[in-house]
Amino acid sequence: MKVCNSCGKCCTKYSNGRLSASADEIEYWEVFRPDIARYVRDGKIWMHPESGEEITLCPFLRKQSETFFTCDIYHDRPEDCRFYPVTIAEMVRDECEMLEKKDFANPDLAQQALDELMADSRP
């Protein structure tokens, strides 16, 4: 398995209403990160601060080039973002660029490698 190359596929795929934040995360943002909290409405994240409409892409995703993205709130991003990816099947479905040919040949071993890689991101 390769190291994440910041291709942005996961961020663009899940931005559009497919992410959530816990009440604790929202409370933290309200106190310490009002710049993030302004994009929360009625417990839903990435809502336009004025219109209240859902935003199609995370407002903190920055396209640096055609193939490289960064996250302006990386250290305070929602758990949904921190925990991703969870399974090899999810990575395959999402066309994750971290996967290598050997990962497809032995998904159980690839899952072990993924679990080790993500150990500090997950509870």
What is the reported pTM?
Answer: 0.84
Tens-digit pLDDT profile for the chain (123 aa)?
Answer: 999 999 999 898 888 778 899 999 999 999 999 999 999 999 999 999 999 999 999 999 999 999 999 999 999 999 999 998 999 999 999 999 999 999 999 999 999 999 999 988 887
Which residue ranges make up each domain of the chain?
9-117
The residue whose two tokens read 């399974």 is 87
> Would you state the pLDDT for residue 15?
81
